[in-house]
Amino acid sequence: MTKKPDILRIAIAQLNPTVGDVAGNLAKAREARADAARQGADLVLYTELFLAGYPPEDLVLKPAFLKTCERAAQEFAADTADGGPGVIIGTPLKRKSGTHNSIIVADGGKIIAERYKLDLPNYGEFDEKRVFQAGPELQGPVNFRGVRLGIPICEDIWGDVAVCETLAESGAEMLLVPNGSPYYRAKIDVRHQVVIKQVIECGLPMIYANQLGGQDELIFDGASFAIGADRTLAFQMSQFEDAVDVTIWKRQGDHWVCSEGPMSKIPEREEADYRACMLGLRDYVNKNGFKNVVLGLSGGIDSAICAALAVDALGEERLRAVMMPYRYTSKDSLKDAEDCARALGCRYDIVPIFEPVEGFLHTLTQLFEGTKEGITEENLQSRARGTILMAISNKFGSMVVTTGNKSEMSVGYATLYGDMNGGFNPIKDLYKMQVYALSRWRNSHVPPGALGPSGEVIPKNIIDKAPSAELRENQTDQDSLPPYPVLDDILECLVENEMGVDDIVARGHDRATVTRIEHLLYIAEYKRRQAAPGVKITRKNFGRDRRYPITNRFRDRG
């Protein structure tokens, strides 16, 4: 009888794949395996659907894509004939039972097992039931070099299906879980609690390997970890950073115990949100092949923090900031925009919009005769700026970064084909007060991996002054909106928590204000459907998480 091993060196490959780049993802996997081999690993655990990139969405419906992924899995399995570490890697697989979100286990040059995800998530940002079929039945542990490994896949440990308990009852000695778990604020605590609950129920240690990187609106923050059978944190990998870390597990009696692994510090709230926005912008720009970006720098807080994020994510040489003044642009705004650009070191251009706006107004004089000047004329300013930014984008191949925050997008204080123009919005899911908090944080800190300078990069005057679109004389946002602390609380109640008007009023808010904000939220849905994608930060962002009808007459009247 072969003696069971008493030590197992497991590498966790916390990497940044690109959806659809199967060859590139395979190359990353191979590089990580070579790194793990140098560190003495026996096994490398990759993340969910790594070869395809996650989430692949409707790419899974293309037979050619599935064949490409399976061919890559077979090639990678063949690599293990070199005597190095075995691998557990995610890939879609089409079988007689359907198309499955799967993993393969490979060792000794061949695939020794396949396992299929049983519990397909169908909520929030997930809709896997559209493209995958659940595994036909729970398959038992995989015997890897004498150790029986249970391998549930992501949602298999989150839902009500008793996958982990069944694997324990079938003889699993430890659980290795490949995940594609997107970021939202404080998500790490949620993951830890989910895993601790499963460890309590099944009595086995669990390794949780999580994907890294930005994929459209979703941010995968890594932060892979393990919880031991004693319910304590066995190791914790870094957040927002790729890594291949080898953990050493030793058999102690009936249990496996982690004797060596990283213990990285997890960032606090503002740092985590800022780094998520930075990572999302960087990956969106780079993975989609843009060489540089352009944005309108108005002298306001939103465009200033977006400029800081762009420089931090991409470098000063890849951002062009454009100030587009009109007759209502204040001297303070001109100075603040210039000071911000100078602090960041990026290119700064001034393109006045007086002539194009006056040209539009002149052209429309006859049509508008007898009408009162108002929002239409104000929006012409925004649309002139949007046209100029798109012209720069077309001429130089720069992606336009759009800069509207969640408070404004919630109530429709944004102009279609104007300031909403753009390819990506790094602060789309940040309320206005969160924008201020992150701006203050950035002035005191330089996040790891940032390419921007230290010190005050967002001038203090931008943070301190009253926010204004400057589309008319002496305009401020609070002319027509409640103070942002009040507005943001009402919106968080309505959007994130789906609270009724009565419950929001019970928090101390004025009923007329709450009903007005609810109305504005509903009627702005058509604008949000046409908005650029942006980084998901909260539990419920506009887009993947919140899908309200555009045509909607419901109003909560108690």
Q: Are residues 339 and 233 part of one domain?
A: no
Query: Is 382 assigned to a binding site?
Result: no
Query: Is 296 assigned to a binding site?
Result: yes
**How much is the average pLDDT of 460-479?**
70
The pLDDT-based confidence of 470 (bands split at 50, 70, 90) is: low
Does residue 300 fall inside a structural domain? yes
Is residue 241 annotated as part of the catalytic site, yes or no?
A: no
Q: Are residues 243 and 294 part of one domain?
A: no
Query: Is 408 assigned to a binding site?
Result: yes
**Would the pLDDT of 479 be above 80?**
no
What is residue 430's DSSP assignment? -
**How much is the average pLDDT of 302-328?**
96
Minimum mean pLDDT among 127-141, 270-284, 328-342, 466-480: which range? 466-480
Burial of 133 (0-12, 13-18, 19+ CB in 10 A): middle
Which residue in the block uniquely carries the two structure tokens 């109530």?
411
Query: Is 16 assigned to a binding site?
Result: no
What is the Cβ-side half-sphere exposure of residue 455, based on CA atoms within 13 angstroms?
8
The CATH number given to whatever domain includes residue 92 is 3.60.110.10
Of 227, 260, 293, which residue sits at a domain end?
Answer: 260
pLDDT for residue 478: 62
Q: Per the residue annotation, which of 28, 70, 114, 154 is the catalytic one?
A: 154
Of 260, 290, 316, which residue sits at a domain end?
Answer: 260
Of 225, 260, 295, which residue sits at a domain end?
Answer: 260
**Would the pLDDT of 336 be above 80?**
yes
Query: Is 379 assigned to a binding site?
Result: yes
Query: Is 79 assigned to a binding site?
Result: no
Q: Are residues 342 and 310 part of one domain?
A: yes
Does residue 52 fall inside a structural domain? yes
Q: Are residues 45 and 191 part of one domain?
A: yes
**How much is the average pLDDT of 11-26?**
97
Higher pLDDT, 328 or 214: 214
Query: Is 527 assigned to a binding site?
Result: yes
Q: Are residues 190 and 54 part of one domain?
A: yes
CA angle 424, 427, 433 (to 5 degrees): 165
pLDDT digits (tens, 9 = 90+) for 354-385: 999 899 999 999 999 899 988 898 899 999 99
The CATH number given to whatever domain includes residue 429 is 3.40.50.620
pLDDT for residue 189: 95
Q: Are residues 296 and 252 part of one domain?
A: no
The token pair at 505 is 């009023």
Q: Are residues 301 and 165 part of one domain?
A: no
Is residue 154 annotated as part of the catalytic site, yes or no?
A: yes
Query: Is 88 assigned to a binding site?
Result: no
pLDDT digits (tens, 9 = 90+) for 69-94: 999 999 999 999 999 999 999 999 99
Is residue 31 annotated as part of the catalytic site, yes or no?
A: no
What is the arrangement of strands in the sheet containing 225-227, beginning at the earlier edge strand? Answer: 142-144, 147-150, 174-179, 206-210, 225-227, 233-236
Q: How confident is the prediction for the chain on average, in pLDDT?
A: 93
**How much is the average pLDDT of 301-327?**
96
For the chain, what is the radius of gyration of the CA atoms? 26
Q: Are residues 176 and 38 part of one domain?
A: yes
Q: Per the residue annotation, which of 117, 428, 432, 540 is the catalytic one?
A: 117
Q: Are residues 314 and 243 part of one domain?
A: no
Report the Cα–Cα distance between both ends of the chain, in Å, rounded.
72
Q: Per the residue annotation, which of 48, 217, 270, 378 is the catalytic one?
A: 48
Does residue 554 fall inside a structural domain? no
Q: Are residues 212 and 357 part of one domain?
A: no
- Domain hosting 14: range is 7-260
How many structural domains compose the chain?
A: 2
pLDDT for residue 1: 47
pLDDT for residue 246: 97
**Would the pLDDT of 397 be above 90?**
yes
Query: Is 4 assigned to a binding site?
Result: no
Q: Are residues 421 and 510 part of one domain?
A: yes
Q: Are residues 97 and 53 part of one domain?
A: yes
